[in-house]
Structure 1
Amino acid sequence: MVQLATNVGSLKLQNPVLAASGTFGYGLDLVDFCPPEALGAVVTKGLSPKPRIGNPNPRIVETPAGMINSIGLQNIGVEAFCTEVLPTLRQRGACVVVNVFGETEEEYATVIERLEKEEGIAAYELNVSCPNVNKGGMEFGHDPKLLASLVSGLRPLTQRPLWVKLSPNAPSPLAVAEAALSAGADALTLVNTFRALSVNAKTRKPSIATGFGGLSGPAIKPLALRLVWEVHRAFPQAPLVGIGGIMSGTDAVEFLLVGASAVQVGTATFRNPGACLSVLSELEA
């Protein structure tokens, strides 16, 4: 037997392959293809205090080496997750990391405070690529001071690990990484999607209704690898979770070699709903 157990900070995982937020539903959507309990962890679709319907269609488009999405953080809301989804995940024995977002610091806090009433949650992953409505729409993850304020405000609310999922679009990725760690983040997830544009030559309009979206998939892997390497070099003791274009076990190994303790598989799942298991099997081999 190959020993694949790993640690992301204080959190011990049975293996380093995680399902990425936004690509695996809430952990049960693809259960026939990939049982959530087989993975190191499942990172849920982002949760907000109330349900959101997201952006208008079209909101996803395939690219030559990946996809662009502008889903608009559609989700069922934290209450529905706690009552309708989490009990089944808990019963199956899945390791659950809940992705949390908000338009204000108070909304992040509301979600975590509700989740704190529940058992069966291993950690929180903060999506800081969200615009703060109180700061003129600036993303939390773009301003080190704004990010530090968010993380330090949430830190006292829980004893569970707090991961911060960083945006690659920040003016200074190392500055926001340092801000998150200094404010109490237990680990960093690197990276979220790259801001991108697709144009339909026939309609002469953007392919996505909102114009810009987030690019993910194989196209971003070299960029994501560089950012993981840079952050690991600057903060060698910081636990890192690598994400960006992981399609195979070899891709996963590359992220582990540059400093990640675990990886998340995302866009590959749209191509193969069992991609997480495939990556895990190839990594074991």
Structure 2
Amino acid sequence: MSRLSAEEDGRAAAAKFRLDHGLGVWPLNDLVALIETRLDIDVAVLEVEANGGEHGLTMFDPKSEATFIGVAKTNHPMRQRSTLAHELSHAIFRDWTDYDQQVPVARAFREQRADAFARHLLVPEDSLRWFLRDRTAGEISLAHLSSVVQTFLVSPAIAAIALCSAGFIGAQTKAEWMVLRTPGLATQFGWLDQYRTLQADSSRTRAPQRLLTRAIRGYEQGVITVETVASIRGIPASEVKDELDAAGIVPKTVEPEFLRAKDLPAVESDRAFLEALDTLDDLNESVDERIAGM
């Protein structure tokens, strides 16, 4: 039996994902929330340098069988969405390993399949046919391209490829539209304010929801400080404190238990450990003195 191409494999997986999760033909809004609430996957938006065009990664821990997707924060919201969908493909196909696949999958094939999956997930051909149901081939203008980009929150390049694949435009128009930029379309067709809002959202870091939930639960129990919660979110502790207070989330008050001296357990001192601490203190003082004298 012949094997599916990367395009066919990605399209089929995207259609199955939409079907399995009841997404229909509708545009997908918050991809981070969709992935975290529908799948056993943690997602984070990170403040990292996107070197060499790498804007996302997928990691799998074989010991805990936990999957993690990370994407870079950016002022290019459409790119961030396509990166998220691309990395989701790697997670669905378990591209981090070939050991459980009968035929090893080449890296190029995996990347092509992930690109196809992302495009068909974000803007399926059936969705375009529904969205442009009153239009036929030859009637699609630049304004329609702008509407597709605005509604499905994809780049003009992805929108142009999808429109061509669905039979709405030809190869020449696709090539012309693929080089357009989202800010230009948003400015020309009056939705630049919406685009700025999307930029603001994609430019913020975002902690994995499950991790943050556990941290807040720990804060309520009095075992995690507000500074720890703030470090997870990447914002000032004072801002987190105000948000938690406004939500009525406060640390549990633990009444101290008083014991008599004779009820306390015997304490065995580790003399070697204490001596090591003294040595460390002396070393720190020496370093401080040298710095002060410079």
Give me the TM-score of the superposition, normalised by structure 2: 0.22
Higher relative contact order (CA 8 A, sep 6+): 1
Give me the TM-score of the superposition, normalised by structure 1: 0.22
Bigger fraction of residues in helix: 2
Larger radius of gyration: 2
Bigger fraction of residues in strand: 1
